[in-house]
Amino acid sequence: MAIGGTSMLYCVRPSDGYFFPAPKSQFARDSDLKETIDQCRFICDDPSMEVYALTDPSLETEEMISVAERKPYKDLPAAFRYRDASTFKSCDLRNYYSRVNEMRARTVTPGNMANAIIPLPTEKPQQDSIVSSATVAEPPAPMALAEEPAANKAVRIVGPVFLPDS
């Protein structure tokens, strides 16, 4: 079975038929299948996880085909059994993504900080040492703004009046 193009990969738990889209399933290639199975096993913490492919997006999920055994999902003895299970347990996809983000953060961090140049904070200088009283100049006079008084301006009012005239 060729994976790629419009194929969609699903992680399937054979014990109850529970399934969900595999991470990066729409971008997977044949060479990614081993990694996808490992991802599914990690997400569900279940070594028996399998990967199914839906080769045509117009098909229903019951038409998925097992990547390993080439059997349809609907022929799985536990297909859709998770829907009626009273003790249903979903897989922890959120934990998977937090673990992936944690691993990415570890790879970005430099391993050897011996040659890193890290600026150290310095003490705040004393106020007296910055400006002495002899060097203080008079502040410049504020500039006069050429404005018309507000009463002489034409003001355009848009919208209804909210306050009643009294």
Which is higher by pLDDT, 72 or 131? Answer: 72
Domain boundaries, the chain: 8-108
How do residues 100-119 score in pLDDT, each as one tens digit? 787 776 665 556 555 656 66
CB 16 within 8 A of CB 82: yes
Among residues 132, 1, 149, 153, which one has the least CA distance to residue 64? 1
User: By three-state DSSP, how is residue 10 classified?
Assistant: strand
Fill in the DSSP letter of residue 72.
B
Lowest mean pLDDT among 83-87, 88-92, 138-142: 138-142
Q: Strand locations in the chain, DSSP E?
A: 8-12, 19-21, 50-54, 65-66
The β-bridge partners of 27 are none
Fill in the DSSP letter of residue 59.
S
How do residues 30-50 score in pLDDT, each as one tens digit? 677 888 888 888 888 888 888
CB 4 within 8 A of CB 29: yes
Sheet containing strand 8-12, edge to edge, reads 19-21, 8-12, 50-54, 65-66
| Virtual torsion, Cα 53, 59, 60, 61, nearest 10 deg | 0
Task: Please state whether the predicted TM-score (pTM) of the whole model is above 0.85.
Answer: no
